[in-house]
Amino acid sequence: MSYIDVGKENSTSTHLYYEDHGSGQPVVLIHGYPLSSASWEKQVPVLLKAGYRVIAYDRRGFGKSSQPTTGYNYNTFAEDLHKLVSHLKLRDFVLAGFSMGGGEVVRYIGKYGSKDVNKAVIIDGVPPHLIKTADDPEGLDASVFEGIEKAVAADRYAFFTEFFKNFYNTDVNLGKRVSEQAVQASWNVAAIASASASLACVPTWHEDFRADVAKIDVPTLVIHGDSDRIVPFASGGQRTAKLIPGAELVVIKGGPHNVAWTHADEVNGALLNFLAKPSAKAAPKKKAVA
């Protein structure tokens, strides 16, 4: 097991767990809530077979990483990622984030620039801005997030059971694109996450990433399911792709939130095609629908 020290809470060090496999161009995978790096199991072997070096880590509070009660904000998440990238001395790397992980991708570039970043991938991500405000009427009502916070605080285990129904759209996909056992495995991972992290991460979902998105100057792939019930396509991927010059948008028809699992073949195909392309910045805008 590999860990990196990213800080302290009183007398206790905060460690991030990560895995580093293969060789070639580095691809850093950033998981979503409330899972861990293990959620990329349908992507890791495909990327390794294609000749990439794959680094996947657990966000603080989740998986095998430390469970502090502090640091659950996107500036700290980006700092944690930067410390990992610096520790591994990565150059010419790709950042790929799912859901909350999409926020890390854009905040990292917004905060640290794209000097060593080759490309970016955002899969059903939370950017650019999910909450409805006076200057952004296209977002979701704040009451949605307030309700989620109350549910997590009251009984996070019961919340996770309902959450994963919409995470995978089990009413449509159970027994077809996702098994009951896979849903249970996701619940198990969520259940061992930090109670503090499970609650504190919810308000980060409506972070305003518009300024960060404006700084993205590397080729970017945006993948989003058009049946996403957690981060609606119109609020997330569709807007993000429009705001990033030259971004490629792949819409997964019938895709729920976690398309990386339910529609792995489509996601992996789009990912490999994108990674194989030349990485000149500000590529001409091109959109594809899968």
For residue range 88-142, what is the model confidence (pLDDT) as tens digits?
999 999 999 999 999 999 999 999 999 999 999 999 999 999 998 888 887 788 8
Mean pLDDT value across the chain: 95
Of 32, 28, 83, 66, whose CA–CA distance to 201 is shortest?
32
CATH 3.40.800.20 at 2-289, yes or no: no
Of 123, 164, 170, 129, whose CA–CA distance to 264 is shortest?
123
Please state whether the predicted TM-score (pTM) of the whole model is above 0.85. Answer: yes
Q: What is the pLDDT of residue 281?
A: 57
Considering the candidates 36, 37, 39, 99, report the single residue annotated as catalytic: 99
Mean per-residue pLDDT, 192-197: 98
Domain layout of the chain by residue ranges: 2-289
What are the start-end ranges of the H helices in 63-138?
74-87, 100-112
Residue 20 a catalytic site member: no
Secondary structure class of 148 (helix, strand, coil): helix
Mean per-residue pLDDT, 19-46: 98
Residue 99 a catalytic site member: yes
pLDDT tens per residue across span 196-229: 999 999 999 999 999 999 999 999 999 999 999 9
Which uninterrupted H or E stretch holds 198?
A: helix 195-200
Residue 87 a catalytic site member: no
Residue type, 76: T
Share above pLDDT 70 across residues of the chain, in percent, rounded to a whole number:
96
The answer to whether 84 touches 16, Cβ cutoff 8 Å, is yes
> Which of the 8 DSSP states describes residue 237?
H
Q: For residue 25, what are its two tokens?
A: 């161009």
